[in-house]
Amino acid sequence: MKITMLYGGQSAEHDISILSAHNIVQQIMFDVYTVQPIYITRQGKWIKGPLLEEPSAFSEQLRLSSAQVESWCDNEKGSSTGININPGDIAEEDTVVFPILHGPNGEDGTIQGFLEILNLPYVGAGVAASAAGMDKIISKNLFERAGLPQVPYIAFDQREWQSDKEDLIARSEGSLLYPLFVKPANLGSSVGISRVTDSSELVEAVELALQFDRRIVVEQGIRAEECEVAVLGNDDAHVSVVGQLVKQSDFYNYDEKYINNTVEMQIPAEIPDHIASQVQEYALAAYRAIDGSGLARVDFFLTNNGDIYINEINTMPGFTQYSMYPNLWLGTGLSQRDLIDELIQLALRRHERNSQLKVDF
């Protein structure tokens, strides 16, 4: 069977997607699968590389450039060449799509809707779950309805900020206590997120976040540890052990995650069993609240008093060698090779089930 790997994309998490794709390719069971690389450039072009029957040597080999003829020639920068295709050209028999795309235009339901139209099985959540998981405001509303505890927050859009900036600052400072965290509603990997301690920093942080999205979330900062749980499955989803992030600073930012690698993963987390069980229960509840399928990583805050607050759910979490999701399953006893195979099987089962529900006209 062929795995069509979609990666790159037009979001700020483009480079992370390439690293994730490379790590996945290293773990593919090539005695069972072949991999068709489809690189989506930052400009939205789709470039097809020749079929992979063995792991790529390095991540830059997956950063394809287009040529007139299909080839796999490494250039001086380490990237390789392929051919431009139309997105619909990926529709083939006996194939499953792995859309390892992070952020908008990939993890937010857009690609998922396109793959539904092509009637292709694909790894991960469906259209609605992907959109809800990506949108922090929508997911917070769903978590609230599911009874999941959250830190206090306010949300607003660009129009409100432009017309009522002073009122929104007053609302933030009146209902929330510094430090605050300012986030774009639709993004991940800490891109566009700022920790602020006064009103001037708040204004700068909102202006920064508005460069990435027109809708903003301002959250109450709390003194807490960050814990994460991996979820795997469709209707029969199950969870990993709880992992904890051991940080050197107050904010787990993009550079610490993917460049400096200063954050240590503690797997399993050194927390009481009853707290770990509650975190796992909340993770499953969040997964079901958005109607998740395939996989997700659910992030929490844990205070010294044992209070648990859900932070967010990520329906296509990072899959790099430093990413929590694959390492959480490794700590639970599931190898990356078996994890990736299970994700593919879940995609095929979900597609078969959904195909049976369709009505012929």
- pLDDT tens digits, 27-78: 999 999 999 999 999 999 999 998 999 988 778 889 998 764 444 455 544 5
Compute the residue count for the chain. 361
Q: Is the peptide bond before 268 cis (omega within 30 degrees of 0)?
A: yes
Label residue 54 exposed, middle or buried (CB < 10 Å: 0-12, 13-18, 19+).
exposed
The H-or-E segment that residue 4 falls in is strand 2-8
- pLDDT value of position 191: 73
Mean per-residue pLDDT over the chain, rounded: 90
Averaged over 181-190, what is the pLDDT? 81
DSSP-assigned letters across all residues of 92-139: -SSEEEEE---STTTSSSHHHHHHHHTT--BSS--HHHHHHHHBHHHH
Whose CA is closest to 130, among 282, 281, 313?
313
Spatial separation of the C-alpha atoms in residues 53 and 26, rounded to whole Å: 11
Q: What tokens does 2 get?
A: 């062929």
Q: What percent of the chain has pLDDT over 70?
A: 90
Helices within 146-235 (DSSP H only): 158-163, 165-175, 199-209
Spatial separation of the C-alpha atoms in residues 112 and 128, rounded to whole Å: 9
The answer, yes or no, to whether residue 24 has pLDDT greater than 80, is: yes
Q: Which residue has the higher pLDDT, 262 or 319?
A: 319
165: Cβ contacts below 8 Å, ≥ 6 apart: 203
Averaged over 270-284, what is the pLDDT? 97
- pLDDT value of position 339: 97
Residues forming a β-bridge with 98:
5
> Is residue 132 a contact partner of residue 38, using CB atoms and an 8 Å limit?
no
Spatial separation of the C-alpha atoms in residues 136 and 349, rounded to whole Å: 29
The answer, yes or no, to whether residue 198 has pLDDT greater than 90, is: yes
Bridge pairing between strands 294-302 and 308-314 = antiparallel
Averaged over 206-228, what is the pLDDT? 94
Whose CA is closest to 347, among 310, 293, 303?
293
Q: Indicate the SS3 state at residue 265.
A: strand
pLDDT in tens, 82-108: 899 999 999 999 999 999 999 888 999
> Is residue 111 a contact partner of residue 101, using CB atoms and an 8 Å limit?
yes
- pLDDT value of position 69: 45
- pLDDT value of position 356: 87
- ∠ Cα 200 205 210 (to 5°): 130
